[in-house]
Structure 1
Amino acid sequence: MQQTKSGLYIRTLGSPGVSWAGEPVFQGKKKATALVVYLALQPEQRALRSKLAELLWEGSEEGRARSSLRQCLSEIRREAPELMATALEVNTTDIALRADYVSSDIGDLIAALAQKIPGQHLEAGAEFSDLFLMGFGHIGQGFENWARECCQSCETQLIARLFDLMEAPQTRAAEALRAARIICRLDPLNEEASRFAMRSLAERGETGASLQIYGQLYDRLDEALAMEPSAETQALAVAIKNGDLQHAKPKPPPPQPRGVFSAASSIAPNREGPPKLAIFPFVDLGPVPVESYFLHGILEDTVSLLAQLRELQVYSSNTTRQFQGLPGAPGSQPPELDADYVVTGSVRGAGDRFRITVQLVDTRTGLVEWANTYAAHASELFEMQTDIAINLTHQLLPSVSAAELRRTEGSLPEDLSAYHLMIRGRDIAFHLDPATFTTAKSLLEEACARDPRYGISRVALTDWHSVLLGQGWSKDPKADGKALQNATEEAVRLSGESGRALARYAHNQTVLFGYAEQAIEICGKALRNAPNDAEALLWSSPTLTFSGQPEQGINNARTAIHLSPCDPYLFRSEHFLSIAHFAAGNYAEAVAAGRRAQRLNPNYTSNLRMTAVALAETGDLAEAGKIASEIKRLDPGFRIGQFLKKQPFQDQATGQRYAARLREIGLQD
């Protein structure tokens, strides 16, 4: 999302915010921010003063509410006098914004869908309804009702644009499928989009994934409306089961002018290694000069962090530092380099404030895959250098992975590199669908065979084995436990004892053998090796929790979520946070985190068990019983006695309490 350089910019996705002329305003002033955001999202960008007073100061006596509104306007005038004088109209009856001065991230998102699907927000880990105006709780019921209605209106507009893209003849098949899947995410009961996705996947031979969409639709319609899918949808499911669509001719790509690069066709067979990334020194745009240590420091720190994680090939800072002043056109790079993606940035200073902008560009298409803006005071620049580098690291990895995953759609496994096999296998594995889970293993094992030196593929394979055991799908737990142990040890060896691999190793030791002092030592080493890595922090959380340090487990899980809020596998983070809250005795918080994980992935049985137990601890046995029924359906072989043999909690009382609650809600010994 690109923020306007002048005028008023409204951020609605994530923590709400307001910027004027590119600089954040009203930080920490919730009511002033809410007032401007409310006006900006009104159809006519105008509201009666009485309505604003009632919404923002609900429960206050009318005179007091009007007085509070006047004080809020005075705050706006003091902090942003130019905004007040230029963009805000205030009179005795109403308040309005001048439309030509206002833009917003949600408006940019809706507008962008006329051309393509942006990489952010729509496919992020959190639900759109959870992202929209997420920081405006506790203002009042009336304001919350308005925010909910506004969210529904925006979702309706997004869905309409996505349908246009999905049905347009010039849209590539992979992008049309993407659009259909996002529609199903925004509107889980939408049969038309579900049928489109089912048909598209079946025509590509992905029958399991196609029928998974049908199964999810069936369950949602039954739960929400007590009805089955339409006859048309059921007939399509039967045709897919019979294999009638597998050999249908796929939708041909639209003709392209000479020289235009098709992202879907740009994967070179067996390309060596993961994508190449070049990070260039940030450009000083003035008028206040920026110290060179800041411009080069972000480059040095980000390259160092990414190189440690080893998921991308990163050009050294010694190579890219010489290209100060780049780029010209988006996606351009020096002929000496052959990067698949470039990161460029600029710093603009005015007074004692600095604005830092960053963008990730796919050099093969010229498209911006991710962009962000930061603001800092002059006194904060040195500290911000490290913070921005850490943030960049955790934003770049999932953004590049998501872009590369989209490029694999429609490609046969034999045409994919080890890296692309790994990201496709990892994505399929975390759908947690038994019908496609073995396919994920085949892809990951092929990735390991194609490039035996690439440790990240082995790390992804350890995740597969861990899920196999955790979901109760293993037919030989002893043999599969040994396979997990071997894969984990190989991942640590190949990754040079990276923090990520070590943290997973510690976690898997606990899964296999219960509480172990060795796992705690390995976890400590992982955090020393990668203290600011979201993945290392995430996997350390349950290990610390099981060792009797739940508060540290809570802190590490929260930090991981903060560092990587758009992680496509965010359900794991929320589940680990739920475990830590349970061990700390924070049962309501454990339920909340477990419910968030459940919404993101309803098939994660480990999370379902923890959520049900936490619900029972709060006294909500009815809801706990409902989840217990789902656990029995998904994992009929789970037995409490098997859990107790290797229960991971060092505090035996916590493990026994967990098991007792499982019995209470009806799971078998």
Structure 2
Amino acid sequence: MEGWQWLPIDVDKISGAISRSVEPRSSRPSLAVLRLKNLSKDEDQEYFVSGICEDLQSSLSKSHLFDVIAGISSFSFDPQAVEPQQVGRLLNVRYVVQGSVRKAGNRIRVSANLVDTELAKEIWADRFDSDIEDIFDLQDNITAALSSAIIPEITRAEIERTRTIRISSLSSWDHYLRALPLMQQLTYDANREAVSLLTKSNDQQPRFSSALAMLARCHVTAAYQFWGETPESELALAQQASDLAISADPDNPTAYDAKAAIHVYSRDYDAAILAARRAIELDPSLASSYGALAAALAFSGNSDEALAVCHAADHISPRDPDRSQRQMAIVIAHFVNRDYAAAKAECQKFILIKPNWFGVYTLLAASCVYLGQKEAARTAIARLLEIIPGYTIEKHKKRVWLENEEDRKRLLDGMKKAGLAVS
């Protein structure tokens, strides 16, 4: 890796030139990564600092959600001589990432913070400590940790920003953002409103790949939850939206993540694994793709590999705002391994995230039966019937995603013993 030398610049002298060269800001959030401060006396550390800055900028660009300013502009600022608000004005960006690197012996610490330059407010800060073994692995790990933390924080800040905008003034990006928290509520009304917002987003900006991908996810959710006309019709709408998302942007990891979720629902686990791995290849910090990959592995009986994927995702993105899919994969993996105590405990963690997802109560009920906890099993079935009245064993036979016949039988027998009617 070639290093580069930072040369001090006269901010006032170049401000006019930079302002003229920067394009007007789009409705999407704009971001600049400043060069990290090297707090070590070791001159050779400059190569490592440069590498992290360049890799972080590249990683954030891979999300396809933000306009990331080129390093030739953002890296030229002396981070000790310019305030983030000034960078925001000069580069026409709302968010600025800054920080420092300190080395002591065989330990290294990277500190970073994210600033909203329009509000002059720090919205996130953290530090990452590690031993120095393989310098390239260390650089990759730190970049992934920073990227997976920064992207959700910007998304949260942008969602909050849209709450103050009049409905008549919402842009395509604003409609997209407003849909995201609705998707997490997992109710019929919220999902329907999210579909409406994402449709408006695409009406305003045709072929907005990320909005199409989220629209596909809404329809998959509707298929799972028996919303809409039929699960089959919702699945067809999901397929259509995901195909359009990939066509609009073949390098958008979110589009392949949505495609993986569709393949999981369709029980095409090989295709799901390929789509999820493609999403991860495009953006290793996209935590939801690890969930789709783990779910496909768990349902197909590769429980230990699924748990390993979930562990890796937790390391990459410990603050993931929606880890529900990989949490479900953990539940399934433990059930497949007949570790019913662990399956029950993980079901309870999942319910804290998404209490309205009916599938978790089928696994909770069966796990409790095999633990000899019949009252808890009956309570789980009662909650299932609150979500989907009239649900039966016969109906669930069409909804069991476990590929192994013995695993399917154990689940259905457990649900029957928990008190769910056969037909």
Give CA deviations for 1:20-42 in whole Å, capped at 9, x if unaligned.
xxxxxxxxxxxxxxxxxxxxxxx
Q: Does 1:389 align with 2:389?
A: no
Distance 1:383 1:621 in 2: 49
State the SS of the aligned residue for 2:341. Answer: helix
State the SS of the aligned residue for 2:99. Answer: strand
Which of 85, 93, 96 is the aligned partner of 1:331?
A: 85
The answer for the alignment partner of 2:335 in structure 1 is: 582
**How much does 1:454 deviate?**
2.2
Q: Does 1:293 align with 2:47?
A: yes
User: Cα–Cα, structure 1 residues 581 and 452, in superposed 2: closer, same or farther, change >3 Å?
Assistant: farther
Between Structure 1 and Structure 2, how many residues are aligned?
A: 398
The answer on whether the counterparts of 1:289 and 1:349 sit within 8 Å (CA) in structure 2 is no
The answer for the alignment partner of 2:362 in structure 1 is: 609
The answer for the alignment partner of 1:118 in structure 2 is: none
Distance 1:557 1:636 in 2: 32
The answer for the alignment partner of 2:308 in structure 1 is: 555
**How much does 1:641 deviate?**
2.8
Q: Does 1:595 align with 2:348?
A: yes
Select between 546-555 and 524-533 the one with higher mean Cα deviation. 524-533
State the SS of the aligned residue for 1:657. Answer: helix
Q: Does 1:452 align with 2:215?
A: no
- The amino acid that maps onto 1:455 is S
The answer on whether the counterparts of 2:114 and 2:150 sit within 8 Å (CA) in structure 1 is yes
Give CA deviations for 1:273-304 in whole Å, capped at 9, x if unaligned.
42011111111233444522211111121122
Higher relative contact order (CA 8 A, sep 6+): 2
The answer for the alignment partner of 1:650 in structure 2 is: 403
Distance 1:514 1:354 in 2: 44
Give CA deviations for 1:244-284 in whole Å, capped at 9, x if unaligned.
xxxxxxxxxxxxxxxxxxxxxxxxxxx84420111111112
**How much does 1:321 deviate?**
2.5
**How much does 1:474 deviate?**
2.9
**How much does 1:634 deviate?**
1.1
**How much does 1:353 deviate?**
4.3
State the SS of the aligned residue for 1:322. Answer: coil
**How much does 1:377 deviate?**
4.6
The answer on whether the counterparts of 1:591 and 1:614 sit within 8 Å (CA) in structure 2 is yes
Distance 1:544 1:353 in 2: 36
The answer for the alignment partner of 2:414 in structure 1 is: 661
Spell out the pairing of 1:523-542 with structure 2 (5 A cutoff).
Answer: 523-542=276-295
The answer for the alignment partner of 1:308 in structure 2 is: 62
- The amino acid that maps onto 1:591 is K
Distance 2:165 2:371 in 1: 49
Distance 2:296 2:213 in 1: 17
State the SS of the aligned residue for 2:86. Answer: coil
- The amino acid that maps onto 1:595 is Q
Which of 260, 282, 287 is the aligned partner of 1:506?
A: 260
Distance 2:363 2:85 in 1: 46
Which of 374, 388, 392 is the aligned partner of 1:635?
A: 388
What is the alpha-carbon root mean square deviation over aligned residues? Answer: 2.4
Spell out the pairing of 1:28-67 with structure 2 (5 A cutoff).
Answer: none
Distance 1:567 1:650 in 2: 28
Which of 156, 181, 191 is the aligned partner of 1:427?
A: 181
The answer for the alignment partner of 2:233 in structure 1 is: 479
**How much does 1:446 deviate?**
0.9
- The amino acid that maps onto 1:586 is D
**How much does 1:559 deviate?**
2.3
TM-score normalised by L of structure 2: 0.86
State the SS of the aligned residue for 1:346. Answer: strand
The answer for the alignment partner of 2:118 in structure 1 is: 364
**How much does 1:633 deviate?**
0.7
- The amino acid that maps onto 2:64 is R
Which of 101, 107, 110 is the aligned partner of 1:347?
A: 101
**How much does 1:644 deviate?**
2.4
Select between 272-281 and 412-421 the one with higher mean Cα deviation. 412-421
- The amino acid that maps onto 2:247 is R
Spell out the pairing of 1:70-149 with structure 2 (5 A cutoff).
Answer: none
Distance 1:415 1:327 in 2: 37
Spell out the pairing of 1:613-624 with structure 2 (5 A cutoff).
Answer: 613-624=366-377
Which of 146, 171, 183 is the aligned partner of 1:417?
A: 171
State the SS of the aligned residue for 1:345. Answer: strand
Distance 2:36 2:336 in 1: 45
User: Cα–Cα, structure 1 residues 354 and 529, in superposed 2: closer, same or farther, change >3 Å?
Assistant: closer
State the SS of the aligned residue for 2:97. Answer: strand
The answer for the alignment partner of 1:318 in structure 2 is: 72
State the SS of the aligned residue for 1:453. Answer: coil
User: Cα–Cα, structure 1 residues 606 and 540, in superposed 2: closer, same or farther, change >3 Å?
Assistant: same
User: Cα–Cα, structure 1 residues 518 and 492, in superposed 2: closer, same or farther, change >3 Å?
Assistant: same
**How much does 1:562 deviate?**
3.0
Distance 1:500 1:540 in 2: 13
State the SS of the aligned residue for 1:430. Answer: helix
Distance 2:167 2:383 in 1: 34
Q: Does 1:374 align with 2:137?
A: no
User: Cα–Cα, structure 1 residues 599 and 373, in superposed 2: closer, same or farther, change >3 Å?
Assistant: same
The answer on whether the counterparts of 1:473 and 1:635 sit within 8 Å (CA) in structure 2 is no
**How much does 1:488 deviate?**
2.0
The answer on whether the counterparts of 1:428 and 1:437 sit within 8 Å (CA) in structure 2 is yes
Which of 249, 264, 268 is the aligned partner of 1:495?
A: 249
Distance 2:257 2:189 in 1: 29
- The amino acid that maps onto 2:379 is K
User: Cα–Cα, structure 1 residues 389 and 450, in superposed 2: closer, same or farther, change >3 Å?
Assistant: same
User: Cα–Cα, structure 1 residues 494 and 556, in superposed 2: closer, same or farther, change >3 Å?
Assistant: farther
Select between 491-500 and 438-447 the one with higher mean Cα deviation. 491-500
Distance 2:276 2:108 in 1: 38
The answer for the alignment partner of 2:190 in structure 1 is: 436
State the SS of the aligned residue for 2:115. Answer: strand
Distance 2:234 2:89 in 1: 48
Distance 1:480 1:656 in 2: 28
**How much does 1:384 deviate?**
2.5
Give CA deviations for 1:630-658 in whole Å, capped at 9, x if unaligned.
11011115343343235332212212222
- The amino acid that maps onto 2:394 is G
Distance 1:599 1:358 in 2: 30
